[in-house]
Amino acid sequence: MKKSIKVFAMLCIVVTMFVNVVFATGTYTPGFMRIRNVTLQNIPSEVDGKVTFSGSTDNEKIKILIVKDERQRWYDVDLEDGDFHEEIWLIDGIGNYTVSVLVHVEDRRYAYGPTVKVENITEVNRFTVPTLHVESNHEDIIELANEITKDSETDMEKAQSIHNWVSSNITYDYEKYELQKEGHFDNDYGALHTFRTGTGVCYDYSNLVAALGRAVNLQVKVIKGNYTSPSRSELHAWNEIYVSEEDRWILLDSTFASSRRSFFDTSEHFIYHEKIEAY
C-alpha cells in the first residue's frame, strides 16, 4: 500500500460531542414557550418523522438535543438576527422523544431552554434524509448534487460521479487534524462546511458524499470504523451507497481516493477497513 494511503488513515478522526447541561424553568403562553431568552413556537405532541424548531433568541449560540431512550443526538442551529428555523428528522424509530433547545453558557457548558416531549408515529429511513453534518436539504448541496449528476442515469453512475467530484475537489485538512490530536474538537464539521471551504478530514469527506447522494435520492450510509493494517489501527470514515439497479450496497472511500488510488466498489481495496457503525 502506498505511503499516502497510510498517512490518510492515520489522520482520519471521527468526532464525538461532549457537553454539560443545566436546567431551568420558564414561561408558557399560547403558541409559544420562552425559557432562558429562547422563544420557541409550539411543537405538536405527535409528529410524522420530523420536528420543526422555529423561534428566536437573544443568545449568541444554541443547540438542539434530541433524546430517545439512551440515545442522544446534538445539532447546531443557524441563527439569522436571532431567528431560527430547523427541521430535524427523528431517525431513531417510532416512539417517544424528548426535544430541547440548549443555550451556550461557556466552553462546553450548556443550559436547558425550552423542552418538550413528542411521539413520532412514522418510521424514517435515516440513509435518505438530512442528519447531523449531512445537510442534504440545503440549497447549495442540492444545486451541486444536481450539477454533478446531470449526465448520470443510474444509481451507479450517480454514485461514481459524486465520488469522483469529492475525491478530486476536496483536500485533506491537516490543521484540523493537528487540533484534534491536541484534544480540540470545537471545529466546524459537515458536508456544507466542507463544500464551502474545499477541505476536511475523513469524517467531512464522508458527510459530503452522503449529503450529495441523499440530495439526488440515493440511499447513502456514513460508515464509522477503523482502518486496520498490519502496522496500525486508526479511526476512519467512509461510505456505502445503495445501487437499486443491482440491489446491493457498494463501498467507496473518497478520502483515500483523493490520493489517486481507486476506492470505488473495489472490495480488495477495503480489506483493512473495519466497520463499526453506520449512520
Question: What's the pLDDT tens digit per position in 203-238?
Answer: 999 999 999 999 999 999 999 999 888 777 788 999
Scan for cell 454514485, then name that residue.
Answer: 159
Separation of alpha carbons 22 and 30, rounded Å: 26
d(CA 209, CA 251): 12
pLDDT at 259: 78
Give the pLDDT of residue 108.
Answer: 81
pLDDT class for 191, splitting at 50, 70, 90? very high
DSSP for 159-206? HHHHHHHHHHH-EE-HHHHHHHHTT---S--SHHHHHHHSEE-HHHHH
pLDDT surpassing 60 at residue 141: yes
**Ordered structural domains, the chain, with CATH:** 3-15+130-278 (3.10.620.30), 31-120 (2.60.40.10)
pLDDT of residue 227: 87
Distance (Å) of CA 177 to CA 170, 181, 187: 15, 6, 10
Mean pLDDT score, 119-147: 97
C-alpha cell, 83: 431567528
- Whole-angstrom distance, CA of residue 241 vs CA of residue 248: 8
Q: Which one is predicted more confidently, 260 or 44?
A: 44
CA distance 211 to 111: 30
pLDDT tens figures, 57-73? 999 999 999 999 999 99
Confidence of residue 20 (pLDDT cuts 50, 70, 90): low
User: What is the C-alpha separation between 9 and 172, in angstroms, rounded?
Assistant: 11
The number of beta carbons lying within 10 Å of the beta carbon of residue 208 is 30
pTM: 0.85
Question: Rounded distance, CA 177 to CA 7, Å?
Answer: 12
| Number of residues that make up the chain | 279
Q: Is the pLDDT of residue 126 over 90?
A: yes
Q: Which residues are 33's β-sheet partners? A: 28, 40
C-alpha grid cell, residue 172: 485533506
**Average of per-residue pLDDT across 27-51:** 85
Res 44: pLDDT: 93
The pLDDT of residue 9 is above 70: no
Q: What is the mean pLDDT of residues 176-182?
A: 77
54-86 core/surface letters (b: 16 or more CB in 10 A; e: else) = ebbbebeebbbbbbbeeeebebbbeeeeeebeb
Q: Using alpha carbons, select from 209, 200, 205 the residue that is nearest to residue 177.
A: 200
Cβ neighbourhood burial of 4 (10 Å; 0-12, 13-18, 19+):
middle
Cβ contact 134:147 at 8 Å? no
The yes-or-no verdict on residue 16 having pLDDT over 70 is no
